[in-house]
Structure 1
Amino acid sequence: MQFVEYSDTSDLNAQFAQRVAGLLANAIETKGQASLVVSGGRTPLPFFKALSNADIDWSKVAITLADERWVEQSSDASNTALVLQNLIQNKASKATFVELKTSEDSAFGAEASVSANLNSLSFPIDVLILGMGEDGHTASLFPCSEQIDQGLSSDKVCLAVQPTTAPHERMSLTLKSLLNSEQIFVHLVGESKKVVLDKALAGDDVKEMPIRAILKQDSTPVDVIWAAK
């Protein structure tokens, strides 16, 4: 794991966008296509806007989410809406978006259809960008959920999850899918997230803090990208 600290979020967003765009461009040159998996929430929105203006061939890029709440796009909780409104804009409007949310009423009846959607991505994922919760969850691999063992060990591409400490059913990529990446970034902002990161690095129980399964493995390169404010 590499830890990369930036002076502030403005510097982080500009340089991080440039680095991700470079990795996607290299993948396009090498394979003719590229895959980008991002995470939702408010933290990445300025980064999304910076990346959306990158001068690459976005028509050859497929984008999806590491996880999604099982809500409609009209909901304030929809990560799909955040990505469509902030990343798949400007030059990146030519990218293909692969949805994790389908028409099924429950995420628990939708694993097969979401897996089929994800087949349109090129694996290994070229760039995976994760966040981290205060409880050490990443994607929707929550330590509190009944599905945590399966999320950490399953051969499935994705898994329906119901956290007990957060609202909404979720659809999440499994750990196996997350690690099937060329490059992983963990994007963090704020002193509180640095405290959680330090706690994660100090222990080994992945069920207690699932982010450890990302940070403490050596099969896929991981860069933690952080700014205090």
Structure 2
Amino acid sequence: MKAQVNKFENSTLLNEAFSQEIADKLQAGINQNGSASLLVSGGNTPKPMFLMLSNKDIEWNKVNIALVDDRWVDLTDPASNEAMVNEALLINKASAANFIGMKTEHDNAFDAESAVSDKFKEVKRPFDVVILGMGEDGHTASIFPCCAQLEEALTTNKDIMATEPTTAPHQRMTFTKTALLNSKQLYLHLVGESKEAVLLDVAAGSDEKQAPIRAFLNQSNVPMSVMLATTK
């Protein structure tokens, strides 16, 4: 594993350091290019960090925020990552940021790939900050080892594609490996002893199809830091 691991005593200490580091990198991007981009992951892990980040004093009106992936559900569905970001991150000072969601009016995610891709064409590359999560199966974003779209998600030059895991509910829309690696800084945000155990297992192997997160941990083209706390 080529990524740098930063281990914290608890998630509060992690969130304090992580939120400040993200804010600093976003402001640096704004200073350099006039705008900055932040791609985030869903789930419960980032919520407390998002709250701290939302209060940082940076030029949020010059920040574009998007998700690395989302479940293909309505925003009223509790499974919607976009709904979570609206509630946990796009508040306080960060309410001034420009959020670009994935969900469209299409019933089927696979029919929406082109429309979703068009939404992100104006967002500058490379992305300033990309925050990934990791499932117990080693998946990241919505690139699952179980899905029929796995190989394409790891090899395509497309930025956006739909996937449908067999071990988790809902169709998904996700940025691909190629798109996520078009960034200045990658992070993997983990909390809990079980996630540390998965990380150690992942670090011991190299098969990206078995654990797609390895595609990011084992590369050296983009700086990657693991932000880990074993306790909440």
State the TM-score, normalizing by the size of structure 1: 0.99
Which of 82, 85, 88 does residue 83 from structure 1 map onto? 85
Residue 184 (structure 1) aligned with residue 186 (structure 2): yes
Which of 108, 115, 118 does residue 117 from structure 2 map onto? 115
Q: Percent identity?
A: 49
Three-state SS of the structure 2 residue aligned to 1:181 is coil
Pairwise mapping of residues 192-203 of structure 1 onto structure 2 (< 5 A)?
Answer: 192-203=194-205
Three-state SS of the structure 1 residue aligned to 2:228 is strand
Which of 210, 226, 230 does residue 228 from structure 1 map onto? 230
**Partner Cα distance (2:70, 2:106) in 1:** 14
**Partner Cα distance (2:180, 2:194) in 1:** 24
Residue in 2 aligned with 1:24?
Answer: 26
**Partner Cα distance (2:100, 2:221) in 1:** 26
**Partner Cα distance (1:219, 1:114) in 2:** 27
**Partner Cα distance (2:105, 2:61) in 1:** 26
Residue in 2 aligned with 1:174?
Answer: 176
Pairwise mapping of residues 1-229 of structure 1 onto structure 2 (< 5 A)?
Answer: 1-229=3-231
**Partner Cα distance (2:141, 2:81) in 1:** 12
Gaps of 5+ in 1: none
Three-state SS of the structure 1 residue aligned to 2:138 is coil
Moved over 6 A (4+): none
The aligned amino acid for 1:77 is A
Deviation (angstroms), 1:14: 0.9
State the TM-score, normalizing by the size of structure 2: 0.98
The Cα RMSD (Å) is 0.5
**Partner Cα distance (1:122, 1:4) in 2:** 28
Gaps of 5+ in 2: none
Deviation (angstroms), 1:120: 2.5
The aligned amino acid for 2:87 is Q
Deviation (angstroms), 1:10: 0.7
